[in-house]
């Protein structure tokens, strides 16, 4: 064990995910030429999700976790993927001149280099913090990393139970935390890092978070390029991402689950927007790959935090809005509202659905399967939003950019394709706002907004996608202005 084993254990899952993603995409569309940065970025999260599933399966079957056995499986998967990739026809290299990495404009070239320099500075600062800052005493220390440390020091992935159950059946190997029901992916990854290293390190177990940040940036850049944005615009998107103070905090003070949510949910929504753009601009194009990536990532987000279920439902809502005429989503909402009213009129406040559980109001609380239960109550959150998003320094000018994109998108575009791009970007921003208003403005979760905590963490899950939406909206508008 040691540093070599640590980096082998952390990079091999990334390689497996990237190789298999490239292989599957190449076999699905041999005439396509996707961006390699996008494939490597998305491949990281696919590889780590696969690693978590392998660890869970290994523990389920053997009641232990074999680092050497899992490394062998990963190596075989990487080798098999490389063989399939080698035997798969290469993608067509036909490309337009805008995709050739050259700069006719010298000032633009130096501006791009300046952005790359600032990105490097940000990543260097994050790297120094990762390697020198122990797990910070916040929720990461109390929940996700605590669980990983307990597993490693006890030598087993012991089930973490509620306090009441722990007091009733306390054993030497039992553990409890307040957040005992949290999904396990953010705990399994530092646990795997410690297994690879051979001992517990308060700093090195957070190295995967640094890799996750790199992967998010690569995926965002690749999606921007595939969508037709210039190299400079793609690099700018990464700079804007890494310069957000709150995003950087979740990298530097690693251990929280929200950076992983930014990867799975954020990149999932980007893929969904890309699929919708492809379908609207070129109905015969192969948008299925992006659509599959979108819902695979959003489904995997459920393994990270409970909010992943909400974001997955929001994605289905966005797909419905763009798959049917406007009257269909309206008809669905009206029918649902009437059904609820009739239920209340006859005294039925909730129903039990097989395989899902109870849905509706129980003892005055809204119960939603796989999400939880909430008290419905009004909270005035506008001052909190204005303070956190604009007055304080956690977001820089990020929300100003989002508002600028919204202002631009409400104006019609002469180019039909540009109009569709703007509508898709605007609909995503509106769905994001709707989820935030419902969670914090209409339920008892508004208490977390009043304390300036979750009202910042939950939007972090959408940051890569919000950046992408803003940039494609502004790009569509700039192309229209150039055309006129």
What's the confidence (pLDDT) of residue 414? 52
**What residues contact residue 272 under an 8 Å CB cut-off, 6+ apart?**
290, 291, 294, 295, 298, 315, 318, 319, 428
Q: Which residues pair with 358 in a beta bridge?
A: 352
Please, is 271 exposed, middle or buried when counting C-beta atoms within 10 Å of its C-beta (0-12, 13-18, 19+)? buried
Q: Which residues of 401-423 are buried (b: 16+ CB within 10 A; e: fewer)?
A: bbeebbebbeeebeeeebbbbbb
Q: How far apart are CA 186 and CA 318, in angstroms?
A: 27
Task: Compute the distance between CA of residue 301 and CA of residue 45 in angstroms, rounded to an integer.
Answer: 10
Q: Do residues 441 and 382 make contact, with C-beta atoms less than 8 angstroms apart? A: no
- Other CB atoms closer than 10 Å to residue 399's CB: what's the count? 16
If one counts every other C-beta atom within 10 angstroms of the C-beta of residue 270, the result is 31
CA distance 150 to 140: 13
Place of tokens 């913090």: 129
Each residue's pLDDT tens digit in the chain (484 positions)?
A: 689 999 999 999 999 999 999 999 988 875 567 899 999 999 999 999 999 999 999 999 999 999 999 999 999 999 999 999 998 877 554 443 344 455 667 888 889 999 999 999 999 999 999 999 998 887 888 889 999 999 999 888 988 888 888 878 766 667 888 888 889 999 999 999 999 999 999 999 999 999 999 999 999 999 999 998 999 999 999 999 999 999 999 999 999 999 999 999 999 999 999 999 988 876 555 788 999 999 999 999 999 998 999 999 999 999 988 887 666 667 776 776 777 676 666 666 666 666 566 777 777 677 777 677 778 888 888 889 999 999 988 999 999 999 999 998 877 655 666 788 899 999 999 999 999 998 898 888 888 788 888 889 999 999 999 999 999 999 887 765 544 4
pLDDT value, residue 100: 47
Q: What is the DSSP string of 156-182?
A: S-PPEE-HHHHHHS--TT-EE-TTTTS
Nearest to 409 by CA among 396, 428, 390, 385: 428
d(CA 268, CA 301): 9
CA distances from 92 to 26, 30, 95, 116 (A): 10, 7, 8, 29
DSSP-derived letter for residue 97 is G
Please enumerate in sequence order all residues whose Cβ is within 8 A of that of 125, keeping only pairs 6 or more positions apart, or say none: 248, 252
Cα 220 to Cα 235: distance, rounded to the nearest angstrom: 9
Please give the distance of CA 366 from its chain centroid, rounded to a whole number: 26
Q: Give the pTM.
A: 0.91
Contact assessment for residue 269 and residue 296, using Cβ atoms and an 8 Å cutoff: no
Question: Phi first, then psi: what are they for 365, rounded to 5°?
Answer: -120, 140
The phi and psi torsions of 375 (rounded to 5 degrees) equal -85, 130
Nearest to 204 by CA among 5, 404, 422: 5
Q: State the burial class of residue 127 (Cβ atoms within 10 Å of its Cβ: 0-12, 13-18, 19+).
A: middle
**What's the length of the chain?**
484
DSSP symbol at 411: S
> What is residue 60's three-state secondary structure?
helix
The radius of gyration computed from the CA coordinates of the chain, to the nearest angstrom, equals: 23
User: Which SS3 state, helix, strand or coil, does residue 375 take?
Assistant: strand
Q: Give the whole-angstrom CA distance, residue 227 versus residue 417.
A: 12
pLDDT score at 483:
43
Residue 288 makes CB contacts below 8 A (sequence gap 6+) with 28, 275
User: What is d(CA 407, CA 405) in angstroms, rounded to the nearest whole number?
Assistant: 5
What span, in angstroms and rounded, lies between the C-alpha atoms of 200 and 421?
48
Token output for 56: 């869970």
CB neighbour class for 74 (10 Å; exposed up to 12, middle 13-18, buried from 19): buried
Pairing of strands 350-353, 175-176: unpaired
- In this prediction, residue 93 carries a pLDDT of 42
Beta-sheet pairing, 160-161 with 175-176: parallel
Task: Check if the beta carbon of residue 351 is closer than 8 Å to that of residue 336.
Answer: no
- CA dihedral of residues 297, 299, 300, 304 (deg, nearest 10): 120
């Amino acid at each position: 064990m040691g540093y070599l084993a640590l980096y082998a254990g952390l990079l091999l899952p990334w390689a497996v995910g990237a190789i298999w993603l490239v292989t599957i995409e190449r076999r699905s569309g041999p005439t396509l030429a996707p961006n390699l940065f996008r494939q490597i970025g998305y491949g990281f999260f696919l590889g780590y999700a696969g690693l978590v599933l392998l660890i869970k399966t290994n523990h389920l079957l053997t009641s232990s976790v074999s680092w050497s056995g899992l490394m062998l499986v990963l190596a075989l998967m990487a080798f098999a993927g490389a063989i399939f990739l080698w035997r798969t026809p290469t993608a067509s290299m036909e490309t337009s001149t805008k995709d050739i990495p050259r700069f006719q404009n010298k000032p633009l070239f130096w501006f791009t280099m300046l952005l790359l320099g600032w990105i490097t500075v940000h990543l260097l600062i994050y790297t120094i913090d990762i390697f020198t800052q122990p797990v910070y005493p916040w929720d990461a220390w109390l929940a996700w990393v605590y669980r990983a440390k307990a597993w490693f020091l006890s030598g087993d992935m012991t089930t973490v139970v509620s306090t009441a159950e722990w007091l009733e059946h306390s054993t030497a190997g039992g553990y409890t935390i307040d957040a005992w029901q949290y999904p396990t992916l953010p705990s399994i990854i530092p646990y795997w890092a410690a297994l690879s290293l051979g001992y517990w390190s308060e700093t090195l177990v957070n190295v995967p978070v640094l890799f996750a940040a790199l992967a998010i940036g690569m995926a965002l850049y690749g999606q921007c390029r595939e969508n037709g944005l210039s190299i400079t615009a793609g690099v700018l998107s990464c700079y804007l991402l890494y310069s957000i103070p709150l995003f950087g905090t979740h990298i530097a003070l690693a251990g929280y689950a929200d950076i992983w949510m930014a990867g799975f949910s954020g990149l999932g929504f980007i893929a969904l927007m890309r699929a919708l753009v492809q379908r609207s601009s070129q109905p015969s194009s192969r948008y299925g790959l992006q659509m599959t990536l979108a819902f695979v990532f959003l489904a995997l987000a459920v393994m990270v935090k409970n909010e992943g279920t909400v974001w997955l439902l929001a994605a289905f809502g966005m797909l419905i809005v763009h798959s049917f005429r406007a009257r269909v989503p309206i008809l669905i909402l009206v029918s649902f509202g009437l059904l609820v009213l009739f239920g209340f009129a006859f005294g039925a406040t909730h129903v039990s659905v097989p395989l899902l559980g109870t849905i509706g109001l129980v003892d005055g609380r809204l119960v939603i399967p796989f999400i939880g239960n909430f008290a419905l109550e009004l909270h005035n959150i506008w001052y909190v939003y204005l303070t956190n998003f604009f007055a304080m320094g956690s977001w820089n000018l990020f929300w100003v950019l989002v508002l600028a994109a919204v202002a631009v998108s409400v104006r019609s575009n002469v180019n039909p394709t540009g109009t569709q791009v703007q509508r898709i970007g605007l609909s995503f921003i509106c769905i994001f706002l709707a989820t935030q208003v419902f969670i914090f403005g209409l339920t008892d979760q508004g208490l977390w907004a009043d304390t300036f905590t979750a009202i910042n963490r939950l939007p972090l899950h959408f940051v890569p996608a919000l950046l992408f939406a803003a940039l494609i909206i502004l790009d569509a508008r700039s192309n229209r202005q150039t055309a006129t």
